[in-house]
Structure 1
Amino acid sequence: MSFSNVLRNENQDVFEKIFSHPFVQGIGTGDISKEALAHYIKADYEYLNAFMHVYGVAISKSSNREDIQLFNQQIDFVLNSEVHPHNNFCEHIGVPYEELQGFPLPPTADHYIKHMLYHAHQGGIGEILAALLPCPWTYLEIGQELLDTFKPDSSHPFSPWIHFYAQKKVNSLTEVLCSKLDDYAEQASEEEKGRMREAFRKSCQLEYAFWDMAYTQEEWPVGKEAVR
């Protein structure tokens, strides 16, 4: 069994919790509060900006053009393709995308970004891949799960979002990242693979927490007005 498949099996419990989360299920039923959707977009816009920076760190640590090309393709996907599902949510709540950009990160999103940056700066390419992979992988499976369960047609408010993440392109990108992770795992020591396992597991947990953060509209416990 490949290393990426081992990681997927080890984290089946988290994937199942993500599938059953009320925000994710709300995408399937078409019933999520506008406030929760806006909170999600604000945080995810900043999260994806950081995601591209992590790919940039991976490029700086790459020793061959193949890896540089892979990470550059991932940046291009986030920058030019992943705006479409955001726009679907924005159109549904009637708020221009530009008005939901540039907001401070809620605690969970802030922690998730710093978790990825830690592994990006402290680890090698395999560790970086392990920290990044749960994001595209969980979204791919969410899209597939919602497509199979709810079979959304053009009248479904979140049909574009669901079809975007269930599409072959997202599947292909995820498969390429899995294959690359497997290549690095073959060369890694047991200690390195342990760090990769930990990075992957924590990113899966933080994917779940990100959905919960959006659903509960999480904010910092003490507002700026209390800071002197």
Structure 2
Amino acid sequence: MSCSAVVTSVYPKDGLRVPKVMCIGAQDLVCHAKSLDADAITSRNLGCVTHSIITDVHVNQQESIQFSAPLSSLPHSCDHLSIDSVKIGLMNDVESVNQVHNFLCSMKENGCPIIIDLMNERWTDKVLQSMIDSILPLSSVLIASYTIAHHIVTSGQQSIEGTARCLLESGPRVVIVQDENGRRCMAMIDNEALLTKRCFWLPNHGSPSKSEDFSIAIAAYLAHGHIPLDFAILYGHLYTTVDALLRSSFLHIPSLTFTQELWSSVDDIYTRTIELPFLKEMLHSTLDERIYNYYIAQDYLFLLDRGRMLKGLVDRCSNEEVHRFFSTLLDKNDKYVTTILSDNNLPPYDEKTTAKMPACANYTKFMLTPVTCNDDFAWVRGLVTLLPCTLVYAKVGDWMIASGVQPTVKRYADIIDYYRDQARRDRLIYFLELTNRVVHDFSFEQRNKLKQLFRQVCEYEYAFWDESYRYGTQKVRN
């Protein structure tokens, strides 16, 4: 499903999700443009997220390090991963091919398109033959250099058109063979009976400057689900052959924002979060209010440290807009921390004598890390560290509102009403847009580190609710 309809809203909008491409193959440290990281960048530019399975790492022209663990962890089914297309690149051993074959067989009923990329000249004969025998029959699209394609076809000298037609007999619906000049010849089946095999050359806009992006671009277009196979191939071809400034005339798919990437990377944590007893019982007014009081006390301790973090970020931030944002958050935090206990009819707590549950202690320790660093971008990490507390709560609020349940306990009902407030949603949208602006020019590696940080904080958010329930229940029983 295309994400274009929700790109300007708080993402992901209920009922919609980002398309996901699984990329399987080698991580090439020799040529970054051929690596899975490069695939992830192209996928993001075309509105998709990437689930990467690394088979091995090329450290130089002669040496590869095999990664067996990621392949052995391939799921028996792609259902829970919500994979929308698969792109397979270079692999270095037959065992990896066999494991990938077993996984792909489990996806037959899913109808997930599979794109095979044989453009890399480092394929060995043994592994290539294994690909032809086991994976090629499962594929939707095969992309190959003429050298490799001609090597596969053993029926004597063939033209590039004849080679492409012959490869259709191996199983794929479409075969694209690229010659040494970068021109692409496409053969495709008009029906499953192979009665008609059309063959033609794709439009030539000069030598394709980014041949390594061709297969992942096709996979990304197909992942959206509404683009026909022949159009996805044409769009992918144009993506690699025309200037970036001209792409907007035919792409029609907005790239993912950074915060969309962040949220899509934690959908599993969010799914676990809304299954927590604390939240479900609060929604249905069955949560013991003494457990909720314990949660409020822990939240009070959390907010004290959050204030210290914000004070440190205000002192360190070099970005004028973000500095104002931190200052606003600090003012709101200071006001909230003075009323949270009295608003819940709780007595004052002494921070020195009130024990933090482990989740609170670990969360606040992690949260304060950016203000203890001396590097210039500590405030950026601080910004991303603060985001889950706002975004996850908002999404939980959306889930509660969508349930249609109205708690009978006033304190619990007030929470849902709080998240109906448009002003709060506008503040969240500003937070998301600010984060996107801050990281706009960040490298892929810098973004990845921030994504890892965001995921860790989301785990702390989950643990905070989980332990509030478990420790609060234990406290009530004692």
Bin of the TM-score, shorter chain as denominator length:
0.7 to 0.9
CA contact 1:107–1:218 (8 Å) conserved in 2: no
How far residue 68 of structure 1 moved from its aligned partner, in angstroms, is: 1.9
Q: Which residue of 2 aligns with 1:41?
A: 296
Q: Which residue of 2 aligns with 1:105?
A: 356
Q: Which residue of 1 aligns with 2:268?
A: 13
Describe how 1:116-135 pairs up with structure 2 within 5 A: 116-122=367-373, 123-135=377-389
1:163 aligns with 2:417: yes
- Cα distance in structure 2, aligned partners of 1:109 and 1:217: 12
- Cα distance in structure 2, aligned partners of 1:11 and 1:22: 20
Query: Structure 1 residues 62 and 105, CA, compared in 2 at 3 Å: closer, same or farther?
Result: same
1:137-195 superposed Cα distances (whole Å, 9 cap, x missing partner):
11111112112213427x44311122113422332222222112112211323332222
Describe how 1:13-32 pairs up with structure 2 within 5 A: 13-32=268-287
- Cα distance in structure 1, aligned partners of 2:314 and 2:287: 37
Query: Structure 1 residues 146 and 113, CA, compared in 2 at 3 Å: closer, same or farther?
Result: same
Q: Which residue of 1 aligns with 2:309?
A: 54
Q: Which residue of 2 aligns with 1:223?
A: none
Q: Which residue of 2 aligns with 1:204?
A: 458
1:179 aligns with 2:428: no
Query: Structure 1 residues 149 and 139, CA, compared in 2 at 3 Å: closer, same or farther?
Result: same
| 3-state SS, counterpart of residue 133 of structure 1 | helix
1:74 aligns with 2:329: yes
Taking structure 1 as the reference length, the TM-score comes to 0.83
Query: Structure 1 residues 180 and 121, CA, compared in 2 at 3 Å: closer, same or farther?
Result: farther
1:114 aligns with 2:365: yes
**Counterpart residue type for residue 98 of structure 1:** P
1:193 aligns with 2:447: yes
How far residue 66 of structure 1 moved from its aligned partner, in angstroms, is: 2.2
**Counterpart residue type for residue 358 of structure 2:** P
Gaps spanning 5+ residues in structure 2: where? Answer: 1-255, 474-478
- Cα distance in structure 2, aligned partners of 1:33 and 1:175: 33
Query: Structure 1 residues 10 and 64, CA, compared in 2 at 3 Å: closer, same or farther?
Result: closer
Query: Structure 1 residues 145 and 5, CA, compared in 2 at 3 Å: closer, same or farther?
Result: same
Q: Which residue of 2 aligns with 1:225?
A: none
RMSD between aligned alpha carbons? 2.4
- Cα distance in structure 2, aligned partners of 1:159 and 1:85: 16
| 3-state SS, counterpart of residue 217 of structure 1 | helix
CA contact 1:134–1:200 (8 Å) conserved in 2: yes
| 3-state SS, counterpart of residue 20 of structure 1 | coil
Taking structure 2 as the reference length, the TM-score comes to 0.41
- Cα distance in structure 2, aligned partners of 1:144 and 1:106: 27
Q: Which residue of 1 aligns with 2:467?
A: 213
- Cα distance in structure 2, aligned partners of 1:37 and 1:47: 15
Larger RCO (alpha carbons 8 Å, 6+ apart): 1
CA contact 1:129–1:177 (8 Å) conserved in 2: no
Q: Which residue of 1 aligns with 2:94?
A: none
- Cα distance in structure 1, aligned partners of 2:277 and 2:340: 18
- Cα distance in structure 1, aligned partners of 2:302 and 2:435: 22
CA contact 2:284–2:405 (8 Å) conserved in 1: no
- Cα distance in structure 1, aligned partners of 2:404 and 2:349: 28
**Counterpart residue type for residue 325 of structure 2:** L
CA contact 1:119–1:199 (8 Å) conserved in 2: no
CA contact 1:141–1:166 (8 Å) conserved in 2: no
Q: Which residue of 1 aligns with 2:81?
A: none
More strand, by proportion:
2
| 3-state SS, counterpart of residue 105 of structure 1 | coil
Query: Structure 1 residues 148 and 83, CA, compared in 2 at 3 Å: closer, same or farther?
Result: farther
How far residue 80 of structure 1 moved from its aligned partner, in angstroms, is: 2.8
Q: Which residue of 1 aligns with 2:251?
A: none
Gaps spanning 5+ residues in structure 1: where? Answer: 91-95, 220-228
- Cα distance in structure 2, aligned partners of 1:24 and 1:9: 22
CA contact 2:291–2:472 (8 Å) conserved in 1: no
1:32-58 superposed Cα distances (whole Å, 9 cap, x missing partner):
123321221111001011112222222
Matched positions, count: 212
How far residue 81 of structure 1 moved from its aligned partner, in angstroms, is: 4.8
**Counterpart residue type for residue 259 of structure 2:** S
- The more displaced of 184-193 and 137-146 is 184-193
CA contact 1:58–1:120 (8 Å) conserved in 2: yes
- Cα distance in structure 1, aligned partners of 2:342 and 2:425: 21
